[in-house]
Amino acid sequence: MHYDVIILGGGPSGLFCASNIKNKKVLLLEKNEKFGKKLLVSGGGKCNFTNNDNLKDLITHYGNKKNFVKKALYNYSNIDLLKDIDFEYTITEEGKIFPKSMKSFTVLNWLLKNIEKKKNIIIKTGINILDIKKDNNKEPFIIKTQNAIIKTKILILATGGKSFPALGTKGDGYNFAKKFGHNIIHPKPALTPLIIKDFNLIDLAGTSMIVTLKTNNNMKFEGNLLFTHKGFSGPVVLNASRYLNNGDIIKLSFVPFRDEEEFRNDFFNVLNKNKNELLYETLRKRYKLTKRFISIMFHNLEINNKLKCNALPKKVRNKIINYLYNHTYVIEKLGDFNVAMVTKGGIDTKEINSKTMESKLVKNLYFIGEIIDVDGDTGGYNIQWAFSSAKAAADDISKK
């Protein structure tokens, strides 16, 4: 069997790439019995497939990979994607874009329909790749499966990262790439919850609030934090997790002030104005803290519920300021690959042409989607990357 192009992996990047390749005989092989298993669970089963950002902002959501992703995202942006889809969509207040059906299979069906329309594509599921070889730049790639030996001029690795291995993504593609001499940036879980050492906010589990999170390398994140039984999750934490490691210290501010001094002044003023009021009530009203949050803070700081504002010792005042503005937590562990939404790390971007996604080491070898050392914030940026990188490769291959 001989093909022009073989794509390994039937997630959003592999499927979208296949349908965009023109004038080539394409074979797409997926290891699972079904395509797009991860796409189906994305966005809680609703699939937040892109974001409403303008292009300039869009590229800032990929951390230090901004320059690498730029060409592919400018070549095929969120606007281009929204023109291409054949289903209605909805945009949330934060700019996340979902199918109007709020069902991820709407997106998967669109991808599969696009493939069905093309006569040049063969798709197969349940295929286990045993080996991939290429003797030199002139020879085709030789792919050995459990039943066949298949040859192809062009090979695209779209096998994803290592997150949610139960869905078929165990990092197979990294091993294939290593065989061709590629460097793999150590894959680690990202967009993942934090397990906190000596966590003492268990009673808040299930509740959320707006916070500012600072990392020990001075990065600052603002947004919604969700308390869990073991630590923190929610968008602000998931996004920060892309830059955190086990053992790191984070600082949380539960009150919206620019710096500690500003908060200290405000707190002193409030205490002065409400001398005869209960501290508990004053904190609740002024800083919009929940009763549960204040009760737990009072318990942790050993403050009496009946304490009035004018009876607050200086030492306790400082403890409250510290608790609300600069509370430090030690990360015992980042959530592992079983809970992480994406993988940070993967095929080294230095070895990939950012315009075409072709390997700089091996001619006609391409990488698309999450297998590459590119990860984005929550908000639809990772699936947009899968589509944009797939389109970059498809455009280049169509010209060959």
Ligand X SMILES: Cc1cc2nc3c(=O)[nH]c(=O)nc-3n(C[C@H](O)[C@H](O)[C@H](O)COP(=O)(O)OP(=O)(O)OC[C@H]3O[C@@H](n4cnc5c(N)ncnc54)[C@H](O)[C@@H]3O)c2cc1C
Q: Are 4 and 27 in contact (CB under 8 A)?
A: no
Q: How far is the CB of 266 from ligand X (least distance, A)?
A: 37
Indicate whether 160 belongs to the interface with ligand X (CB under 6 A): yes
Indicate whether 31 belongs to the interface with ligand X (CB under 6 A): yes
Indicate whether 13 belongs to the interface with ligand X (CB under 6 A): yes
Q: How far is the CB of 274 from ligand X (least distance, A)?
A: 44
For ligand X, the binding residue among 169, 215, 239, 388 (CB under 6 A) is: 169
Closer residue to ligand X, CB minimum distance, 51 or 364: 51
Q: How far is CA 218 from CA 36, 221, 353, in A?
A: 37, 10, 32
Q: How far is the CB of 9 from ligand X (least distance, A)?
A: 3
- H-assigned helices in 125-234: 172-179
Q: % helix / strand / coil in the chain, to the nearest 5?
A: 40, 25, 35
Residue 319: CB atoms within 10 A of its CB come to 17
Closer residue to ligand X, CB minimum distance, 297 or 376: 376
Q: Are 110 and 86 in contact (CB under 8 A)?
A: yes
For ligand X, the binding residue among 99, 140, 168, 223 (CB under 6 A) is: 168
Residue 31: partners with Cβ closer than 8 Å, 6 or more residues away: 9, 125, 126, 127, 128, 129, 159, 168, 172
Indicate whether 163 belongs to the interface with ligand X (CB under 6 A): yes
Q: Which parts of 337-366 interact with ligand X (CB under 6 A)?
A: 341-342
Beta bridge partners of 154: 5
DSSP 93-149: TT-EEEETT--HHHHHHHHHHHHHT-TTEEEE-SPPEEEEE--STTSPEEEEESS-E
Indicate whether 8 belongs to the interface with ligand X (CB under 6 A): yes
Indicate whether 195 belongs to the interface with ligand X (CB under 6 A): no
Angle formed by the axes of helices 104-116 and 12-20, nearest 10°: 30
21's tokens: 């390749």
The whole-angstrom separation of Cα 5 and Cα 153 is 6
Are β-strands 208-215 and 26-29 bridged in parallel, bridged antiparallel, or unpaired? unpaired
Indicate whether 231 belongs to the interface with ligand X (CB under 6 A): no
Identify which range of 152-160, 209-217, 221-229, 275-283 contacts ligand X by CB under 6 A: 152-160
For ligand X, the binding residue among 172, 351, 377, 395 (CB under 6 A) is: 172
Number of residues that bind ligand X (CB under 6 A): 37
Identify which range of 146-154, 165-173, 210-218, 351-359 contacts ligand X by CB under 6 A: 165-173
For ligand X, the binding residue among 52, 106, 159, 233 (CB under 6 A) is: 159
116's tokens: 């069905």
Contact pattern for ligand X over residues 361 through 400, marking x by CB under 6 A: --------xx---------xxxx--x--------------
Contact pattern for ligand X over residues 35 through 54, marking x by CB under 6 A: --xxx-xxx---xx------
Which residues of this chain interact with ligand X, rule CB under 6 A? 8-14, 29-32, 37-39, 41-43, 47-48, 129, 158-160, 163-164, 168-169, 172, 341-342, 369-370, 380-383, 386
